[in-house]
């Protein structure tokens, strides 16, 4: 472990740490553009200059390129180093436009920060600035090449880290161009990371263009709800509109990046016509009145049919608290069925997958990135969990052997493919995996004995589970589940003997349903009524519901999702609910009456809706949903690494401690 001194502070760091990282470890910031923790060094920008006062290397050096060594004495404040960094900024600003006031990156621009920090304010060079022609890169990313400072981060991410081939660097010397070989939408499913990784405004988020400055945003640490991996994000909102989503670093999960689905799928939250108004038989009422109506109708229903005829339906897309409260409501009412999954196969396979994972066996994305052998069974990663494909690529880049067990497409994906073929979208949608692999016919053909850190990645499919159960467990397991809280629902289903909705309906006993954030993919049998449905998205349940209870989206509340590896992660409220100001047409505009609350804001998280309903039905005030086996999650903070849970069979799920 090299020991060195940086700005009079003694530092000891692991072998291979650079001087820049050593300084960061004791909170000494050194400016940097081309260096990035996930991409490593390039030595391209020269802005990380420090002065080596003593030791094996002397003089002004690039701290990102220099490995820390014993006896080094480093100064980041030496006049020569400061002057070098100042000069680099001035050289970069020779060609960079002075357009901060009209640049969408303004306020969150590293170049702007360093320019101001370095004191560069007067332009001495009076020549013409270099200019480029921009490209159309699709509907998500705006291109402004004149702002480029040639740090090469974009191309290093796009090609090396993410495996994209349609974007690169062209030209030479002072006329390099970062773009596509021909204009058109970027093909990589990770292209949105260019926005985060560019240290200035060459790539900006077109979907949020000119809508807000960094300091205008409401933002909070959150978790992506668009697949089961639980990648960490920072959603950013203004005026009750979710404007953009950026990646949040979590080394155990997504590292520094997110996929384009997680970044750009914001429209569904902002849809003016999403359920925002409580309705009783189609008539607008307040949320309180709607809850009163549910309580009254439930009383009538129970008297007429008895509790066994009632099904309470939760869902893998609802947070853990909501699903725990659904189980409590079922218990309180003595309802005949509690359902977390729609389909019997899905319920069985997700439960079996969760039961196979223990804290030691379940592989995080970090484990996948560090694996030396990976087998893919019964899953289509780019379709079902794109960031897992990116993690596999990192392992492959480090020399891991990747194997595909045939057939590799899960049932879910096959359905998706059929739909895409029917819509004529198949060719454009199916993208090649960003790593090389070999085909084998079964897990028994894998050279598992030669691997030190093998990982098997499976879809929660019959073929995947069969394959995994038939081999000795020397590898870690990662299952790709269906929904951000599928693992949590599988555990709750086991604890509370839940059944799939299809099974409950097939019994012929169920006459009434109350659903919470659940999707309905089937026709309900004749005589089955949806007494009430709570959701923030329009679904088959909300369309059929006698009482519609509008719920908050995940960005409008605090909650917990348990991801595919059993990692509980808290997400925080980002924005207040209500109709976004932008996009209101005269038809959609609410009545122009004075009120203390925003139109469309009479909504609540599903967990709170259930608690309010139970109170109306005579239950004492409902305490914290996280009780009993879930109590250990009460102190879980948003923004950390999360807490990995252990699924045990039988017995209650117990937090096993941070991993
Ligand atoms: Fe060191 Fe760019 S950060 S040369």
Distance from chain centroid for Cα 61: 38
Is 39 near ligand 1, meaning CB less than 6 Å away? no
Residues with Cβ within 8 Å of 290's Cβ and at least 6 positions away in sequence, in order, are 278, 279, 280, 532, 547, 548, 549
Is 156 near ligand 1, meaning CB less than 6 Å away? no
In the numeric block, the tokens 């592989």 are attached to 363
Is 33 near ligand 1, meaning CB less than 6 Å away? yes
Residue 414: what pLDDT? 46
Q: Which helix (H) or strand (E) holds 217?
A: none
Break the chain down into helix, strand, coil percent, rounded to 5: 30, 20, 50
Interstrand relation of 529-535 and 512-516 (parallel, antiparallel or unpaired): parallel
623 has a pLDDT exceeding 90: no
Name the CATH architecture for the domain at 358-482: 3-Layer(aba) Sandwich (3.40)
What is the 8-class DSSP label of residue 156?
I
Share of the chain above pLDDT 90, in %: 79
Per-residue three-class SS string for 236-261: EEECCEEEEEEECCECCCCECCCCHH
Once rounded to an integer, what is the mean pLDDT over residues 243-255? Answer: 97
418 has a pLDDT exceeding 50: no
Once rounded to an integer, what is the mean pLDDT over residues 502-512? Answer: 96
How many angstroms separate the CA atoms of 531 and 50, rounded? 69
Is 50 near ligand 1, meaning CB less than 6 Å away? no
247 has a pLDDT exceeding 90: yes
What is the 8-class DSSP label of residue 327?
H
CA dist 615 → 219, 302, 567, 620 (Å): 33, 17, 32, 6
Q: What is the CA(91)–ligand 1 centre distance, in A? A: 14
Q: How open is the CA angle 149-154-155, to the nearest 5 degrees?
A: 110
Residues with Cβ within 8 Å of 191's Cβ and at least 6 positions away in sequence, in order, are 137, 138, 140, 141, 158, 164, 167, 260
Pocket test for ligand 1, best of 60, 64, 110, 200 (most atoms within 8 A of CB): 64
Distance from chain centroid for Cα 275: 24
Per-residue three-class SS string for 400-446: CEEEEECCCCCHHHHHHHHHHHHCCCHHHHCCCCCCCCEEECCHHHC
Pocket test for ligand 1, best of 47, 50, 88, 92 (most atoms within 8 A of CB): 47
What are the tens digits of pLDDT across the range 530-563?
999 999 999 999 999 999 999 999 999 999 999 9
Is 30 near ligand 1, meaning CB less than 6 Å away? no
Residue 591: what pLDDT? 66
Q: Across the chain, which distance is largest between two alpha carbons, in Å? A: 88
Is 19 near ligand 1, meaning CB less than 6 Å away? no
424 has a pLDDT exceeding 70: no
Is 265 near ligand 1, meaning CB less than 6 Å away? no
Is 32 near ligand 1, meaning CB less than 6 Å away? yes
CB count within 10 Å of CB 416 equals: 18
Q: What is the CA(34)–ligand 1 centre distance, in A? A: 5
Share of the chain above pLDDT 70, in %: 93
Pocket test for ligand 1, best of 36, 42, 67, 91 (most atoms within 8 A of CB): 42
Return the higher-pLDDT residue of 430 and 127: 127
How many angstroms separate the CA atoms of 112 and 110, rounded? 5
Q: What is the pTM of this model?
A: 0.93
Q: What is the CA(43)–ligand 1 centre distance, in A? A: 5
Residue 581: what pLDDT? 81
Phi, psi dihedral angles at 482 (to 5 degrees)? -115, 90
How many angstroms separate the CA atoms of 477 and 461, rounded? 14
Phi, psi dihedral angles at 186 (to 5 degrees)? -65, 140
Contact criterion met (CB below 8 Å) for 377 and 437 = no
Q: For domain 279-349+487-569+597-637, give the CATH number.
A: 3.40.50.740
Is 46 near ligand 1, meaning CB less than 6 Å away? yes
Once rounded to an integer, what is the mean pLDDT over residues 478-506? Answer: 96
Is 43 near ligand 1, meaning CB less than 6 Å away? yes
- Domain ranges in the chain with CATH number 3.40.228: 358-482
Residue 64 Cα: closest atom of ligand 1:
1
Is 34 near ligand 1, meaning CB less than 6 Å away? yes
User: For 549, what's the count of Cα atoms within 13 Å in the CB-facing half-sphere?
Assistant: 28
Least confident piece of the model among 144-158, 203-217, 347-361: 347-361
How many angstroms separate the CA atoms of 393 and 367, rounded? 12
- Domain ranges in the chain with CATH number 3.40.50.740: 279-349+487-569+597-637
415 has a pLDDT exceeding 50: no
Once rounded to an integer, what is the mean pLDDT over residues 67-79? Answer: 97
Q: Whose CA is nearest to atom 3 of ligand 1?
A: 32
Query: Which two tokens mark 258?
Result: 């997110």
Residue 652: what pLDDT? 36
Is 40 near ligand 1, meaning CB less than 6 Å away? no
How many angstroms separate the CA atoms of 426 and 440, rounded? 25
Q: What is the CA(550)–ligand 1 centre distance, in A? A: 51
In the numeric block, the tokens 């196969």 are attached to 345
Residue 427: what pLDDT? 43
Residues with Cβ within 8 Å of 270's Cβ and at least 6 positions away in sequence, in order, are 241, 242, 580, 583
**Dihedral, CA atoms, 495, 496, 500, 503, nearest 10 degrees?**
130
522 has a pLDDT exceeding 90: no
Pocket test for ligand 1, best of 23, 50, 62 (most atoms within 8 A of CB): 62
How many angstroms separate the CA atoms of 172 and 281, rounded? 68
Least confident piece of the model among 52-56, 519-523, 532-536, 640-644: 519-523
Distance from chain centroid for Cα 262: 5
How many angstroms separate the CA atoms of 510 and 502, rounded? 11
What are the tens digits of pLDDT across the range 173-227?
878 999 999 999 999 999 999 999 999 999 999 999 999 999 999 999 999 999 9
| Nearest alpha carbon to residue 554 among 581, 535, 532 | 535
What are the tens digits of pLDDT across the range 577-605?
998 887 666 766 766 777 788 889 999 99
Residue 656: what pLDDT? 32
Q: Terminal CA-to-CA distance of the chain, rounded, Å? A: 25
Residue 650: what pLDDT? 43
What are the tens digits of pLDDT across the range 299-344?
999 999 999 999 999 999 999 999 999 999 999 999 999 999 999 9
Interstrand relation of 3-6 and 9-12 (parallel, antiparallel or unpaired): antiparallel
Residue 46 Cα: closest atom of ligand 1:
4
Is 64 near ligand 1, meaning CB less than 6 Å away? yes
Q: What is the CA(197)–ligand 1 centre distance, in A? A: 14
Return the higher-pLDDT residue of 418 and 318: 318
Is 47 near ligand 1, meaning CB less than 6 Å away? yes
Pocket test for ligand 1, best of 21, 24, 35, 67 (most atoms within 8 A of CB): 35
Once rounded to an integer, what is the mean pLDDT over residues 339-355? Answer: 93
Pocket test for ligand 1, best of 24, 29, 45, 74 (most atoms within 8 A of CB): 45
Peptide bond connecting 259 to the previous residue in cis, omega within 30 degrees of 0: no
Q: Which helix (H) or strand (E) holds 478?
A: strand 476-480
Residues with Cβ within 8 Å of 476's Cβ and at least 6 positions away in sequence, in order, are 360, 361, 362, 363, 367, 371, 453, 454, 455, 456
| Nearest alpha carbon to residue 108 among 23, 269, 219 | 219
CA dist 244 → 103, 451, 598 (Å): 16, 41, 21
Q: What is the CA(584)–ligand 1 centre distance, in A? A: 47
Q: For domain 3-92, give the CATH number.
A: 3.10.20.740
User: For 624, what's the count of Cα atoms within 13 Å in the CB-facing half-sphere?
Assistant: 11
Residue 63 Cα: closest atom of ligand 1:
1
Once rounded to an integer, what is the mean pLDDT over residues 614-636? Answer: 89
Residue 174: what pLDDT? 79
Provide the mean pLDDT of the chain.
91
Residue 34 Cα: closest atom of ligand 1:
2
What is the 8-class DSSP label of residue 362?
B
């Amino acid at each position: 472990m090299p020991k060195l001194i940086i700005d009079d502070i003694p530092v000891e760091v692991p072998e291979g740490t650079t001087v820049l990282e050593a300084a960061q470890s004791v909170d000494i910031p050194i400016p940097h553009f081309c260096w990035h923790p996930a991409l490593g060094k390039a030595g391209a920008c020269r802005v990380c200059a420090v002065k080596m006062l003593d030791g094996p290397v002397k003089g002004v050096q690039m701290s990102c390129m220099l490995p820390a060594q014993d006896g080094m004495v480093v100064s980041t404040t030496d006049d020569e180093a400061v002057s070098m960094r100042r000069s680099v900024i001035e050289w970069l600003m020779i060609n960079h436009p002075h357009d901060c006031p009209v640049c969408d990156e303004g306020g969150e621009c590293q170049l702007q920060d360093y320019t101001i920090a370095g004191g560069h304010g007067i332009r001495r060079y009076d020549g013409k600035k270099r200019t480029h022609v921009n490209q159309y890169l699709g509907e998500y990313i705006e291109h402004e090449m004149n702002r480029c400072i040639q740090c090469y981060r974009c191309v290093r991410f796009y090609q090396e880290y993410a495996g994209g081939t349609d974007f690169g660097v062209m030209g030479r010397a002072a006329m390099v161009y970062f773009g596509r070989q021909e204009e058109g939408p970027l093909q990589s499913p990770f292209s949105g990371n260019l926005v985060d990784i560019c240290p200035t405004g060459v790539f900006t988020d077109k979907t949020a263009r000119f809508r807000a400055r960094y300091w205008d945003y409401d933002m909070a640490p959150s978790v992506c709800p668009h697949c089961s991996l639980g990648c960490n994000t920072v959603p950013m909102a203004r005026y009750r509109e979710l404007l953009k989503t950026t990646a949040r670093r979590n080394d155990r999960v997504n590292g520094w990046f997110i996929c384009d689905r997680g970044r750009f799928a914001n429209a569904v939250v902002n849809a003016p016509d999403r359920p925002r108004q409580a309705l009783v038989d189609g008539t607008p009422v307040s949320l309180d009145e709607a809850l009163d109506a549910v309580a009254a109708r439930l009383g009538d229903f129970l008297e007429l049919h008895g509790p066994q005829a009632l099904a309470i339906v939760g869902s893998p897309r609802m947070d853990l608290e909501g699903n725990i409260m659904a189980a409590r409501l079922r218990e309180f009412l003595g309802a005949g069925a509690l359902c977390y999954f729609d389909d019997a196969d899905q319920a069985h396979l997700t439960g079996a997958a969760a039961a196979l994972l223990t804290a030691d066996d379940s592989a995080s994305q970090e484990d996948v990135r560090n694996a030396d052998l990976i087998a893919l069974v019964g899953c289509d990663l780019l379709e079902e969990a794109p960031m897992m494909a990116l993690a596999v690529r990192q392992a492959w880049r480090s020399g891991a052997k990747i194997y595909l067990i045939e057939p590799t497409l899960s049932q879910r994906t096959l359905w998706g493919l059929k739909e895409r073929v029917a819509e004529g979208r198949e060719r454009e949608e199916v993208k090649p995996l960003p790593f090389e692999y070999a085909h084998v016919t079964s897990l028994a053909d894998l050279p598992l004995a030669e691997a030190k850190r093998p990982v098997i990645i499976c879809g929660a499919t019959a073929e995947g589970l069969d394959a995994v159960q038939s081999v000795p467990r020397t590898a870690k397991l990662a299952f790709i589940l269906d929904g951000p809280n599928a693992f949590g629902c599988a555990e709750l289903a086991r604890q509370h003997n839940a059944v799939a909705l299809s099974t409950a309906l097939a019994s012929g006993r169920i006459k009434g349903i109350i659903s919470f954030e659940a999707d309905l993919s089937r026709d309900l049998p004749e005589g089955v009524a949806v007494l009430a449905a709570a959701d923030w998205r329009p679904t088959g349940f909300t369309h059929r519901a006698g009482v519609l209870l509008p719920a908050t989206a995940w960005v409008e509340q605090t909650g917990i999702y348990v991801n595919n590896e059993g990692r509980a992660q808290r997400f925080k409220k980002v924005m207040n609910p209500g109709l976004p100001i932008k996009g209101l047409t005269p038809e959609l505009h609410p009545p122009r009456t004075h009120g203390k609350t925003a139109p469309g804001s009479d909504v609540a998280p599903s967990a709170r809706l259930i608690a309010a309903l139970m109170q109306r039905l005579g239950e004492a005030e409902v305490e914290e949903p996280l009780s009993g086996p879930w109590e250990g999650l009460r102190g879980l903070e948003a923004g950390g690494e999360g807490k990995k849970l252990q699924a045990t069979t039988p017995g209650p799920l117990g937090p096993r401690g941070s991993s």
